[in-house]
Amino acid sequence: MPHVFDSHLLDTIADKLVDDGYLILRDVLPTELTEALRHRVEDAPVEDFRFAAIGRGSEQQLNHEIRSDRIRWLTPDSEPDMRYLSFMSSLREGLNQRLFMGLFDYESHYAWYRPGAFYKKHLDALRGSQNRILTTVFFLNPDWQQQQGGELIIYDEADNLLETVLPEFGTLVIFLSERFPHEVRPTARGRGSIAGWFRVSNSNYGF
């Protein structure tokens, strides 16, 4: 079975991105794949994960007051990682065909938030930087209860609250990286996700 999104779903995603700039989908990946991805984060030894840095390139720094999750990049030697990346590749192609977004590549990592961990309000891309264009967040936690915290909160450009998303197993959130400030509220329970970013090529600006 090819690991791709069907064209009807791609139509829906493209329409929503045009209308709202973001959308929340539930159970659009096969359950057994989501289960395998969940084990990739839950069963991995903690040494495999690194505290996430803020900023890019030489400006990277650890700042535990802003975020306290640990991350591990997806790798091509893992079958579930490859299948996940294949779905995301079909999303990239589907959106390029429908919206001419020019999405060029995709980078993604597992994130593990231990109890108490959080990520304060931020944008994934600086406005106008044209690097990270579209964000995906895929959640891997069965039976999440509201009182366990760890919500992803999405704001609009004027900082009005748009959505409060529980990090429930199988939920996929997609949003335009430059437009939506968002935060992860402190979690009371271990919280696994895969965050990813579609980027455009910067080669035209390589002067």
Q: Which of 124, 125, 133, 162 binds Fe ion (CB under 5 A)?
A: 124
Q: How far is the CB of 2 from ligand AKG (least distance, A)?
A: 28
Q: Where does this chain touch Fe ion (CB under 5 A) — which range of 20-28, 108-116, 124-132, 159-167?
A: 124-132
- Does 182 interact with ligand AKG (rule: CB under 6 A)? yes
Q: How far is the CB of 3 from ligand AKG (least distance, A)?
A: 22
Q: Which does 184 bind (CB under 5 to 8 A by kind): Fe ion, ligand AKG, none?
A: ligand AKG
Bridge partners of 198, per DSSP, are: 106, 134
- Does 151 interact with Fe ion (rule: CB under 5 A)? no
- Cα(3)–Cα(148) distance, integer angstroms: 32
Nearer of residues 83 and 136 to Fe ion, judged by Cβ: 136
Name residues contacting ligand AKG, limited to 135-174 (CB under 6 A).
137, 152
Nearer of residues 37 and 71 to Fe ion, judged by Cβ: 71
Distance of CA 120 to the CA centre of its chain: 15
Nearer of residues 10 and 184 to Fe ion, judged by Cβ: 184
Nearer of residues 7 and 51 to ligand AKG, judged by Cβ: 51
- Cα(145)–Cα(63) distance, integer angstroms: 28
- Cα(118)–Cα(149) distance, integer angstroms: 10
Q: Which residue has the tokens 């390029």?
A: 96
Q: How far is the CB of 204 from ligand AKG (least distance, A)?
A: 26
Q: Which does 137 bind (CB under 5 to 8 A by kind): ligand AKG, Fe ion, none?
A: ligand AKG
- Does 69 interact with Fe ion (rule: CB under 5 A)? no
| Residue 32 · residue 82 · CB < 8 Å | no
Q: Burial-class residue 149 by CB neighbours within 10 Å (0-12, 13-18, 19+).
A: buried
Token pair of 40 as six digits: 């990739």
Beta-sheet strands, E only, within the chain:
22-26, 50-51, 70-73, 105-113, 119-122, 132-139, 152-155, 161-165, 171-176, 182-184, 191-199
For ligand AKG, the binding residues (CB under 6 A) are 111, 119, 124, 137, 152, 182, 184, 193, 195
For Fe ion, the binding residues (CB under 5 A) are 124
